[in-house]
Amino acid sequence: MSELSIEFHKIWIDQCAAAEDIRESFGLKNAFDYLIGEKLLTFLMSSEDDPKFAGEIHAFVHQIRCIFTASEIGDYLDHLERTKFLAPSDSDVDLDDLDDEIEDEPWLENPIMGAEELLRFSRARQLLQS
């Protein structure tokens, strides 16, 4: 298969291999941030419009489960939920920090995008922990 005929719906295979290298070189959290926090959530978004991506979800999730233990996955999902998807528990939130966070996460300004992102995270959690 030539490089030009890459099946993009199977790109998860390379992403899983990269996550293993990231884990070895930069640690577990960085590997999770890359593979689940970025790639899996993006893959789930792509699968909403493309049946080729949707058909690869279970294989992608299975490979993630082969790379990480159930406990590691659960801990990371809890961390991601606390830090990205739930409102800060501290009532003294620094407005400058909030502005920086909105720049990093543009969906925070758009409630519909935020809800869609939260639903994708919920789906990722369900797939990874079922």
In a domain, residue 116? The reply is yes
Q: 100: domain range? A: 7-129
Q: Is residue 1 part of a domain?
A: no
Q: What is the model's pLDDT at position 94?
A: 54
Report if residue 96 sits inside a domain. yes
Say if 99 falls within a structural domain.
yes
Does residue 41 or residue 87 have the better pLDDT? 41
The pLDDT of residue 97: 54
91 occurs within a structural domain: yes
Give the pLDDT confidence score for residue 68 in this predicted structure. 98
23 near 36, Cβ under 8 Å?
A: no
Domain for residue 16, yes or no?
yes
Question: Does 2 reside within a domain?
Answer: no
Overall domain count for the chain? 1
The Cα 76–Cα 80 span in angstroms is: 6
Q: Is the pTM of this model over 0.85?
A: no
Q: Residues 64-104: pLDDT tens digits?
A: 999 999 999 999 999 999 988 775 555 444 545 545 554 55
Q: Which of 113, 120, 126, 104 is nearest to 39 (CA)?
A: 120
> Distance between CA 126 and CA 130 in Å, rounded?
6
Q: Evaluate whether residue 41 is within a structural domain.
A: yes
